[in-house]
Amino acid sequence: MSLEKRLRYLERAWQQRLEQQQGQPEGRDARRDTVPRSEHLFAPQQGWEQVGRYTLRRQLQFPSSLAKTGISEFLLPSGYTSEDLLFFDTETTGLSGGAGNSIFLMGMAWIEGDGLNVEQVFLQDFPGEVEFLSRLAERLNRHRVFVSYNGRAFDAHVLRTRFVLNRMSFDLEHQTDLLYWSRRLWRRVLPDCSLATIEREILGIRRELDVAGFEVPGIYLEYLRSGSPGRLDAVLEHNLQDVRTLAELLIVVNSILSAGNTIPAAEAGATEAGAAAPSHRADRTALGSFFLSRDERWGIDLLKESFSAGDDGAGRALSLYYKRAGAWEEAVDLWKRMALKRRSLFAAVELAKYFEHRERNAALALEWVQTILSWRLPLDRRIRVELNHRRRRLMKKLGRRVSKS
Amino acid sequence: MLEEVIQSLRTDRRFMSSVAHWEVIPPRKGRYEDFPAEIDGRILAAVRAKGIERLFSHQGQAYAEVRRGNNIVVVTPTASGKTLAYNLPVLQTLIEQPQAKAMYMFPTKALSQDQQSELNEILLGGEIPVRIFTYDGDTPRSIRISVREEGRVVITNPDMLHTGVLPNHTKWIKFFQSLRFIVIDEIHTYRGVFGSHMTNLIRRLKRICAFYGAKPQFICCSATIGNPQGLAEKIVEEPVTLIAENGAPAGERHFVFYNPPLVDAVQGIRRGVVKESQRLATNLLKAKVKTIVFARSRLRSELIAGYIRESLKNLYTDDSRITVASYRGGYLPNERRKIERGLRSGEIQGVVSTNALELGIDIGGLDASILAGFPGTIASTWQQAGRAGRRASVSLSILVASASPIDQYILRHPEYFFGSSPESGWVDPDNIYILSDQLKCAVFELPFDEAEELAQSYREVLDYLEEHGVIRYTEGKWFWSDRSYPAEKVSLRSSAPGNIVIVDTTQGRQTVIGEMDKPSAKLLLYDEAIYIHQGDQYIVKKLDLENQRCYVEDTADNYYTDSIVKTDIKVLEQDSRETLSGMDAVIGDILVRTQATKFKKLKFGTHENIGYGEIDLPPEEMHTRSVVLLFVAGSDAGRAFARQSELEQPIIMQRLGTLIRNIAPVFLLCDPRDLGVSERLKDTVFHCPALYVYDNYPGGTGLSEGFLENAVAILRGALELVTECSCAQGCPSCIGPVGAETMGAAAAGSEEAARNRLGNPKESIRAFLASWLGKTE
């Protein structure tokens, strides 16, 4: 069968599939030859300049307190300065990974003077990718710490793929992904940790003209097809705000991390005017655990405070820290409080283990096992089996000792 | 041991009275070569540790050809050391070139795992610095990076290459840059639609390699098929050197065609395949002969295994220590590995399998194979028979015929089986559905340049895709211009993923015991069905299709269940109707509906029917493309058909279906299983005799369109085939063997009488086609 005839059949099948799916055949204006036109959108008044056949760029300045902020070593490792920071965010033609997903817009921000400089680079059509990437590289090469939101899992991979595909070399030296910090600080406080939620709840930023992330690829691809910009202006705005938000977010995260044990108590926060004062909403238990993991002793204070405020998780984290450190007295004391006042299964089990293996006091250990059973908690099967096993073993130990004596 | 058994069978009058044919295939001496002098001492030591002192000639030849830089395809039977034929040159090169990499591709995950352990054996034995990894859907995320960075040999499957590796090739730079070898094992499985996808997948793979500056060499292996070299060259699209001369020795093989004794001579009813195969296998096992039984369905494999165990259980002798396993798709990987190991080590003496063990999974040497029914193709028959037989000793294969016409034909005409070459495999990489889907994936991976050869060959298709907006053409290049990830939506195989998980809930347990694909589950795991798993019986409590779970409980009932399946076709849409060659042909969309509505309860042992049950499950529906051939009254075809006697008309329709199924794949370059054929003497939609030929893939793959395009050639080919076939009244290669109509249509009178009344079906169909097509010359 000739290729032409095969294509005719395929065409027919395609039309039918489309009709079934959408009720009408797709328009035929999806043709080549349409050079994307959007002069007014990328007008010089908006700051845009043509920097390659298919590449546009603009730089904008914004005031920012970042320049004057001393940045915590957790966010900016020693050996780097705040001039090394580059905030970046990509807009892509697809939302999954893979070699077919291209970047068409990159927003980058850095400290310059006492403000924040933002550069956006826009790719007008695919053949311009090499010059587009060269423009990015010019900026990327001047920085060493790359700050993003979910960039470790997404943007960095896409960037790397684009450079590889165009046989260009590229490396992000050090990455700071603010998604990780947001999750640590606010996961238990906020409904989700999307950048939009963080902006609204923590930073108090309201967006005027915005698009949802999942709409972005469609808007650009439609612009390529039809040549008319559609809602591309909103995408440019969206990307600009994203990088500015990154800088703001870094300031907030930094203030929380730098405050250490001087973070004002939660109760005090409620009296302040802005109820959303970010540091007061941070998950103090998570923060405390983090500090402890870095051997910062003030984590203990944070955990103690959280525990008194009713967070069993904090007690758990703190007791495990004591246990690891061999501070048995503190650990046992905490467990007893948790077990007696709050019927903490975890604490009671830890006590049973402690008395059986460390104190070698089977009777006390057994007492704790019996206590747990007397609570009549709905236990899951694995734990029930373990408990019964422990109980039998302890009884046996006791029985033997009794018979010997 | 086996020699004695064969001797006693020879003199067993009862057994011999059922033997239709006994073929003795003489032993073959091995032809050997010394290891090439250049082979690294460490490889040599590892191979020697496995007891291999010399190479078989085909292994030596493979080594030389590969080292000379040629692509090869090695075609030798099972257990002839194919694996070493490619491992040897690959490992040698990988040791000499510390950067070089190899990719091994197997059609199934089970085979990949098998291969990994085989390779590990060589590598752990010595101290060979080559890291082997399997990369498939089961590979944990945590080790995927090391696979990409450190893997020297990466074992994978086409589906993973298609959806996982190629679309993310930038993560594999290191690997692709220095990819030296691509090993494609079991290349004969890539036929028809699957094979057409495979050719395109290899094109994509080669594009990516070229991008990173690599030009790998292909090493293919195949089971015996009619055109191994042709198929390999079609799939890799490069010249391939054929290595077909088997240097491995083989013991004498006895191939017995066994027709179960008649129970009712008047009606021609014979004892069932299941019971006879079980009886033969039990006798062999009792005589300490390691035996494999191939059953034609999962249910049968469990039944036969169960019966064998049952009959061994009654022995209060050493014989009762014989262990018999069943093996089929749907077992969990661990369970499968355990059986494979048991067979290799000798802990398991007997196994009853579906065709799942037909491919090269290493199960060591068995002495006898019993084929419970003709497997359907000559190639499969040899492959299954070949599972028995070690290099030095005698082996026995018994084909137990069922009552089906094909089985009976083969038994009556052993010369047909021993004289025909195995079936050929065809692929059609230019199938437009497959091609356009695959080109999308290719553009996604790398933009197409006008200068590229593929782009030049398929410019029209690229233009077409561009018109539909998924790719964009600018400045001489096509770019992917859609938000989707195309490989995700393109399946290389017909069966959709998503298995039903079978959960044992007896006494509050929640143990996963197996899995099954959804279409099969609807036919086997309906509520109240008996599910047999490795001899244990379960009753289905609830099949939850939505959540892909099937809950079962232990049971000790004395019956098993079998569903009654109905298939019907509904015409959804007629796209066009044209008159060609004296008939009308309609092309359009149809719905093929397969549904189990009832099930029978059958008593173990006697298979007597002890009850029915209702099945309340939605039908399995396939929306696909079909071409319908219509013999409208007054047309040439219609008149030619009307000229045949009314008694013969139904037979002609039915036989024409078989004939078309046999001849069309040759013109469409597909596998017979890719096509569905259904005949209607009086079609309710078109009101005339109608023959439906449809794509056996959801959505269609262009085979129906291809059929219409080639209809005249196919019909003429059919006439030619039926005229020239050397059989007397019909055989499996043309219109199907005699007996088909007496089974279905007329139970009145004996087979012989019915045949006399009806005349020679081959002659009738030839007359019909000649009178029709003769007119349109």
Reported as a single tens digit per residue, the pLDDT across A241-285 is: 999 999 999 999 998 888 765 555 444 444 344 444 555 677 888
How many CB contacts within 8 angstroms connect chain A with chain B? Answer: 112
The number of angstroms, rounded, from the C-alpha of A396 to the middle of its chain's C-alpha atoms is 51
pLDDT digit string, tens, across residues B285-311: 999 899 999 998 888 999 999 999 888
Span of A21-30, A175-184, A250-259 with lowest mean pLDDT: A21-30
Are B167 and A4 a contacting pair at CB < 8 A? no
Q: What is the mean pLDDT of chain B?
A: 88
Contact B168, B89 (CB under 8 A): no
Last residue in a domain, options A194, A226, A259 = A259
Are A127 and B461 a contacting pair at CB < 8 A? no
pLDDT number for residue A24: 42
Same-domain status, A350 and A242: no
Q: Please name the member of A4, A161, A225 whose beta carbon is closest to the beta carbon of B170.
A: A161
Q: Please name the member of A10, A99, A164 whose beta carbon is closest to the beta carbon of B436.
A: A10
Contact B588, B625 (CB under 8 A): yes
First-to-last CA distance in chain A? 97
Domain presence at residue A80:
yes
Contact B167, B441 (CB under 8 A): yes
Domain presence at residue A28:
no
pLDDT digit string, tens, across residues B332-386: 878 888 898 898 888 899 999 998 888 777 787 789 999 999 988 888 899 899 8
Same-domain status, A248 and A111: yes
Could you tell me which chain B residue has the CA closest to the CA of A17? B699
Domain presence at residue A133:
yes
Flag whether pLDDT at A28 surpasses 80: no
Residue A179 sits in a domain whose CATH number is 3.30.420.10
Are A100 and B485 a contacting pair at CB < 8 A? yes
Q: How close A216 gets to chain B, by Cα (Å)?
A: 10
Same-domain status, A229 and A363: no
DSSP string, B352-407: EE-GGGTSS-----BSEEEEES--SSHHHHHHHHTTB--SSS-EEEEEE--SSHHH
Flag whether pLDDT at B216 surpasses 50: yes
Span of A5-19, A88-102, A239-253, B178-192 with lowest mean pLDDT: A5-19
Could you tell me which chain A residue has the CA closest to the CA of B700? A13
Q: Which residues of A touch B468 (CB under 8 A)?
A: 14, 26, 30
Could you tell me which chain A residue has the CA closest to the CA of B170? A161
Q: Which residues of B touch A165 (CB under 8 A)?
A: 170, 446
Banded pLDDT at B486 (limits 50, 70, 90): very high
First-to-last CA distance in chain B? 64
Q: How close B705 gets to chain A, by Cα (Å)?
A: 7
Flag whether pLDDT at A35 surpasses 60: no
Q: How close B348 gets to chain A, by Cα (Å)?
A: 35
Q: Which residues of B touch A94 (CB under 8 A)?
A: 482-485
Residue B553 tokens, joined: 């409980």
**∠ CA(B708), CA(B712), CA(B715), 5° rounding?**
105
Distance between CA B39 and CA A152 in Å, rounded?
A: 45
Q: Which of A367, A373, A374, A372 is nearest to A398 (CA)?
A: A367
Question: What φ, ψ does residue A244 adopt, rounded to 5°?
Answer: -65, -40
pLDDT digit string, tens, across residues B265-280: 766 678 889 999 999 9
Domain presence at residue A78:
yes
Q: Is B28 helix (H, G, I), strand (E, B) or coil?
A: strand
Last residue in a domain, options A208, A241, A259 = A259
Banded pLDDT at A400 (limits 50, 70, 90): low
pLDDT digit string, tens, across residues A331-390: 999 999 999 888 888 999 999 999 999 999 999 999 999 999 888 887 777 888 888 899
Q: At what angle do helices B432-445 and A3-22 cross, to 10 degrees?
A: 80
**∠ CA(B401), CA(B24), CA(B384), 5° rounding?**
50
For chain B, give percent helix, strand, coil, nearest 5.
40, 25, 35
pTM as predicted: 0.83
Q: Which residues of B touch A34 (CB under 8 A)?
A: none
Q: Is B22 helix (H, G, I), strand (E, B) or coil?
A: strand
Distance between CA B510 and CA A202 in Å, rounded?
A: 44
Residue A93 tokens, joined: 């033609």
| CB neighbour list of residue B550: distance below 8 Å, 6 or more residues apart | B500, B501, B502, B503, B516, B521, B525, B531, B540, B542, B543, B544
Domain presence at residue A23:
no
Other Cβ atoms within 10 Å of B670 Cβ, number: 29
Residue A179 tokens, joined: 């998604």
Are A7 and B460 a contacting pair at CB < 8 A? yes
pLDDT number for residue A21: 56
pLDDT number for residue A267: 43
Could you tell me which chain A residue has the CA closest to the CA of B430? A3
Higher-confidence position of B115 and B206: B206
pLDDT number for residue B753: 54
Q: Which of B574, B572, B571, B605 is nearest to B588 (CA)?
A: B574
Are B573 and A16 a contacting pair at CB < 8 A? yes
Are A126 and B484 a contacting pair at CB < 8 A? no
Contact B170, A161 (CB under 8 A): yes
Q: Which of A74, A76, A111, A66 is nearest to A259 (CA)?
A: A74
Q: Which residues of A touch B430 (CB under 8 A)?
A: 3, 6
Higher-confidence position of A20 and B735: B735
Could you tell me which chain B residue has the CA closest to the CA of A125? B474
pLDDT digit string, tens, across residues B26-59: 998 999 999 999 999 989 988 898 889 999 999 9
pLDDT digit string, tens, across residues B493-547: 865 556 889 999 988 888 888 888 888 888 899 999 999 888 789 999 999 988 8
Distance between CA B115 and CA A138 in Å, rounded?
A: 48
Flag whether pLDDT at B392 surpasses 80: no
Q: For the residues B431-446, what does the mean pLDDT come to?
A: 93
Distance between CA A369 and CA B515 in Å, rounded?
A: 41
3-class SS letters over chain A = CCHHHHHHHHHHHHHHHHHHHHCCCCCCCCCCCCCCCCCCCCCHHHCEEECCCCEEEEEEEEECHHHHCCCCCCCCCCCCCHHHEEEEEEEECCCCCCCCCCEEEEEEEEEECCEEEEEEEEECCHHHHHHHHHHHHHHHCCCCEEEECCHHHHHHHHHHHHHHHCCCCCCCCEEEEHHHHHHHHHCCCCCCCCHHHHHHHHHCCCCCCCCCHHHHHHHHHHHHHHCCCCCHHHHHHHHHHHHHHHHHHHHHHHHHHHHHHHCCCHHHHHHCCCCCCHHHHCCHHHHHHHHHHCCCCHHHHHHHHHHHCCCHHHHHHHHHHHHHHCCHHHHHHHHHHHHHHHCCHHHHHHHHHHHHHHCCCHHHHHHHHHHHHHHCCCCCHHHHHHHHHHHHHHHHHHHHHHHHC
Q: How close B693 gets to chain A, by Cα (Å)?
A: 17
Q: Please name the member of A6, A9, A160 whose beta carbon is closest to the beta carbon of B170.
A: A160
Where does residue B268 fall: left (phi above 0), alpha (psi -120 to 50 degrees), or beta otherwise?
A: left
Domain ranges, residue A359: 343-405
Q: For the residues B705-727, what does the mean pLDDT come to?
A: 87
Same-domain status, A382 and A252: no
Q: Which residues of B touch A9 (CB under 8 A)?
A: 432, 702, 705
Are B432 and A9 a contacting pair at CB < 8 A? yes
Residue B444 tokens, joined: 């996604």
Are A98 and B477 a contacting pair at CB < 8 A? no
Distance between CA B730 and CA B760 in Å, rounded?
A: 8
pLDDT digit string, tens, across residues A110-128: 999 999 999 999 999 999 9
Residue A343 tokens, joined: 């019927």
Banded pLDDT at A32 (limits 50, 70, 90): very low
Question: What φ, ψ does residue A233 adopt, rounded to 5°?
Answer: -55, -40
Q: Which residues of B touch A157 (CB under 8 A)?
A: 171
Domain presence at residue A238:
yes
Could you tell me which chain A residue has the CA closest to the CA of B213? A167
Q: Which residues of B touch A123 (CB under 8 A)?
A: none
Are A100 and B170 a contacting pair at CB < 8 A? no
Check if the interface score ipTM surpasses 0.95: no
B588 pairs with which residues across the strands?
B574, B626
Last residue in a domain, options A229, A259, A289 = A259
pLDDT number for residue A295: 79
Q: Which residues of B touch A29 (CB under 8 A)?
A: none
Residue B634 tokens, joined: 């007054």
| CB neighbour list of residue B705: distance below 8 Å, 6 or more residues apart | A1, A6, A9, B432, B587, B625, B627
Distance between CA B264 and CA B769 in Å, rounded?
A: 37
Sheet strands (E) in B227-366: 241-243, 253-258, 262-264, 269-270, 291-294, 324-327, 350-353
Q: Which residues of A touch B (CB under 8 A)?
A: 1, 3-7, 9-14, 16, 26, 28, 30-32, 93-100, 102, 125-127, 157, 160-161, 164-165, 217-218, 221, 224-225
Q: Which residues of A touch B700 (CB under 8 A)?
A: 13
pLDDT number for residue B179: 98
Contact B750, B268 (CB under 8 A): yes
pLDDT number for residue B608: 85
Are B460 and A100 a contacting pair at CB < 8 A? no
Q: How close B221 gets to chain A, by Cα (Å)?
A: 31
Q: How close B476 gets to chain A, by Cα (Å)?
A: 9
Same-domain status, A354 and A213: no
| CB neighbour list of residue B545: distance below 8 Å, 6 or more residues apart | B500, B518, B521, B522, B617, B618
Residue B652 tokens, joined: 């002609």
B540 pairs with which residues across the strands?
B552
Flag whether pLDDT at B751 surpasses 90: no
Could you tell me which chain A residue has the CA closest to the CA of B705? A9
Flag whether pLDDT at A304 surpasses 90: no
| Pairing mode, strands B217-222 and B72-75 | parallel
Banded pLDDT at B80 (limits 50, 70, 90): confident
Q: Which residues of B touch A169 (CB under 8 A)?
A: none
Contact B350, B325 (CB under 8 A): yes
pLDDT number for residue A5: 63
| Candidates B162, B170, B172, partner chain A, best to mutate (most A CBs within 10 A) | B170
A145 pairs with which residues across the strands?
A85, A174
Domain presence at residue A292:
no
Same-domain status, A101 and A215: yes
Higher-confidence position of B32 and B698: B32
Contact B278, B419 (CB under 8 A): no
Q: How close B436 gets to chain A, by Cα (Å)?
A: 9
Are A224 and B481 a contacting pair at CB < 8 A? yes
Our count of domains for chain A comes to 2
Are A221 and B167 a contacting pair at CB < 8 A? no
Contact A117, A147 (CB under 8 A): no
Flag whether pLDDT at B742 surpasses 50: no
**∠ CA(B119), CA(B124), CA(B127), 5° rounding?**
115
Residue B692 tokens, joined: 């439906």
pLDDT digit string, tens, across residues B662-673: 888 878 878 888
pLDDT number for residue A405: 36
pLDDT number for residue B364: 77
% of chain A with per-residue pLDDT over 90: 46
pLDDT number for residue A33: 46
Flag whether pLDDT at A27 surpasses 60: no
User: Counting runs of H as helices and runs of E as strands, what totals does chain B give?
Assistant: 28, 32
Q: Which residues of A touch B167 (CB under 8 A)?
A: 98-100
Domain presence at residue A274:
no
Are A10 and B473 a contacting pair at CB < 8 A? no
Q: How close A211 gets to chain B, by Cα (Å)?
A: 16
